[in-house]
Homo-oligomer: A and B are copies of this chain.
Amino acid sequence: MLFAMSSPITPTLLLDEQLCFALYAASRRMTAVYRPLLEALELTYPQYLVMLVLWERDGLTVRELGVRLQLDSGTLTPLLKRLEQSGLVQRRRRQSDEREVEITLTEAGRKLHERAAEVPRCLAERLCMSVDAFVRLRDELKSLAAQLAAPSDDD
């Protein structure tokens, strides 16, 4: 019975064996846990990610935000319009290149940074995970994403 407990070498169509479903389910659960925390800031989860990037570096273009978050203008344009409506950012064509739209934090947008500092603290508490396990899982996901982003052999 040497192989009885070993993992299947042949990929199957069983849901519970799929990495893809584990990833999809975990990702949705994660945003569900963020939701009530972000509701207090009146942000959706993707809006929060945009704010994270802008708090690190203000005045990026839509394209630069897209590179950072791996999102295209089809997603970002309406999202940024909503952030503008909320009074957190400003959108302005660049004089140097009128094709580009620069996204700048407003005073309210900068101000929100302080209140947002609570969010990762709440989450760290909720996760009940050692720092090592956290870092390891995060880095495994990063390398998986990098692997999946690489062009496939038949390109």
Contacts and interface: CB of A to CB of B under 8 A. Distances in A.
Interface of A: 7-9, 11-15, 17-34, 45, 49, 52-53, 55-56, 68-70, 113, 116-117, 119-121, 123-124, 126-129, 131-132, 134-135, 137-142, 144-145, 147-149, 152
Given A11-B124, A113-B13, A22 B141 contact: yes
The binding surface of chain A is classed by DSSP as: helix
A144 B145 CA distance: 18
A137 B100 CA distance: 40
12 contacts: A7-B132, A12-B120, A13-B56, A18-B138, A19-B30, A19-B127, A20-B30, A22-B142, A25-B145, A26-B141, A26-B142, A27-B27
